[in-house]
Amino acid sequence: MRFSKKTATVCAFVLGAMILTATAFADTMLGSGFNSLKNSMKTTMTKLTGEVDNFSADMIVSVKVDGKVISESTNNIKIDVSNQAEEMSERTLNKGKITESYRYNDENQSIYNNAEDDSYTVVEKRKNNNDRKIIDNPFEEEQVKDAEKILDAFVGNLQDIIQLEESGGKKMYIGNLSDTQIPPLANAISSFAFKYSILDEWNAKRLNIPSPKSNIYLVNASGKAVENEDGIIESGIFTASISAKDNEGIEHIYSLDFSIDIKDINSTVVAAPNLVGHEVTYNKEGYEFDSKYIGKYKNDIVDIKGNSFEKVGERFIEITSVEDGNIKGKYYEVYNEGYKAENIRSFDFYSNYDESIYFTKLHYLNENGEKKTGIIHQNGQQNINVSFDVEIDEENGGYSYSNYDDEFDSNFVRIFE
């Protein structure tokens, strides 16, 4: 499930936690309980992403070290599938400090609340970017399909780790796993992922907790999920503990507690916040350049003579106007007197704000009168980076470029006169 391109697949993680963490179990889950749970997750995602009009989700994720809460996040998410809108409120405890955040998002705008002064930022979306779905079904994505195949391939020896119970039209899935039930290969894989991906040195330092270094193994894991009469998983609880030694050989227990409740299906109301009486800042999505970037930028043209570098000229970018995110300007080269360049380039360029959801695209005619595309973006506070002769992959948000030759320097420094 996906709430936006900037937001992690929260509900996919939430509802799919057991599947995603099952790689740490490796070949320990088999039988009707496992298969039924997996099918229930798929049904849940299909209904929440396309068959219901709206719903809410409450989620709590807590990380502990030796029983002490290090980080905890409480989220309330409201999704309006029919009208493509969402609200998300989050309360985070990190290093003893509590922070709160709020975000509203629909097809035309995103609204963010600054909890410190209760001000708001409203970001107008690009016109060609307002067809993004608020929520997607992750099980339809190729990566998840491949991950499912890998997981199924791991399933093997032990039977019925996930038990299935039925009562009152509801199904309950219960799974418990101890260290003695976890195969060596499964523990090796989960230990590797834990040390180098989930809690690497950078994350451990950020959280101010001991970094796991050796003797890493999964101690236990357990979970419970409840499927309602409509085939939707309405609640889930998952917990796991991993033992590891730090740099000094001291053993620690790292724990993850995680819970989810899906509620108010077809009765959730999602509405933009009332901004009356609040300080509001209005921006445009991807509005990277404004009038302060009008000016002149340059870098050196350098040649190699023997075993030394020699400056033979300068490249210039002049941004002459910026209006509503649209740039106009020119590029030209100036060579030192007496230096014979193969080609001295000079042309005007412009950009259209709504043209790309990822880049500020430049359009120009090259020395042969051919239509070409470039890319411009900020580099630090006042400088810019420009690439010419660019091939853009708009679908995946990437591009390749020739920049004329290997010696072309795409970094341009602002000239202050």
pLDDT digits (tens, 9 = 90+) for 237-295: 999 899 999 999 999 999 999 999 999 999 999 999 999 999 999 877 766 788 899 99
Cα–Cα dist 233/221, whole Å: 20
Per-residue pLDDT at 158 exceeds 60: no
- Percent with pLDDT over 70 in the chain: 83
The pLDDT value recorded for residue 68 is 92
Give the pLDDT band of residue 127 (cuts 50, 70, 90): low
**pTM of this structure:** 0.70
Integer CA distances (angstroms), 70 to 65, 93, 98, 213, 238, in order: 7, 8, 12, 19, 18
Give the pLDDT band of residue 29 (cuts 50, 70, 90): very low
Spatial contact of 59 and 10, defined as CB atoms under 8 Å apart: yes
Answer with the residue of higher pLDDT: 193 or 416: 416
Cα–Cα dist 414/33, whole Å: 64
The pLDDT value recorded for residue 168 is 84
Q: Which of 180-184, 318-322, 402-406 has the lowest mean pLDDT?
A: 402-406
Q: What is the dihedral of CA 11, 17, 23, 28, to 10 degrees?
A: -140
Instruction: Give the closest residue to 151 by CA, choosing from 51, 236, 26.
Output: 26
Three-state SS for 294? coil
CA atoms within 13 A of residue 383's CA, in its CB half-sphere: 9
Instruction: Give the closest residue to 105 by CA, choosing from 6, 208, 245, 188.
Output: 6
Answer with the residue of higher pLDDT: 1 or 297: 297
Which of 9-23, 124-138, 256-270, 274-288 shows the highest mean pLDDT? 256-270
**Arithmetic mean of pLDDT, 153-172:** 72
Instruction: Give the closest residue to 384 by CA, choosing from 285, 283, 298, 322.
Output: 298
Three-state SS for 301? strand
Q: How many residues does the chain have?
A: 417
User: Could you tell me which residues come within 8 angstroms of residue 325 by beta carbon, excluding any fewer than 6 positions away?
Assistant: 284, 286, 287, 288, 289, 290, 351, 353, 360
Token pair for 242: 């991993």
Token pair for 212: 């796991």
**Arithmetic mean of pLDDT, 317-322:** 96
The pLDDT value recorded for residue 1 is 39
Give the pLDDT band of residue 190 (cuts 50, 70, 90): confident
CA atoms within 13 A of residue 298's CA, in its CB half-sphere: 15
Give the pLDDT band of residue 404 (cuts 50, 70, 90): low
The pLDDT value recorded for residue 394 is 64
What's the whole-number average pLDDT of the chain?
83
Cα–Cα dist 323/43, whole Å: 48
- Percent with pLDDT over 90 in the chain: 46
- In Å, the largest CA–CA distance within the chain is 91
**Arithmetic mean of pLDDT, 215-234:** 91
The pLDDT value recorded for residue 176 is 83
**Arithmetic mean of pLDDT, 362-391:** 90
Per-residue pLDDT at 210 exceeds 60: yes
The pLDDT value recorded for residue 136 is 85
**Arithmetic mean of pLDDT, 7-26:** 37
Per-residue pLDDT at 4 exceeds 60: no
The pLDDT value recorded for residue 155 is 55
Please return the burial class of 298, using the count of CB atoms within 10 Å of its CB with bins 0-12, 13-18 and 19+: middle
Cα–Cα dist 219/180, whole Å: 9
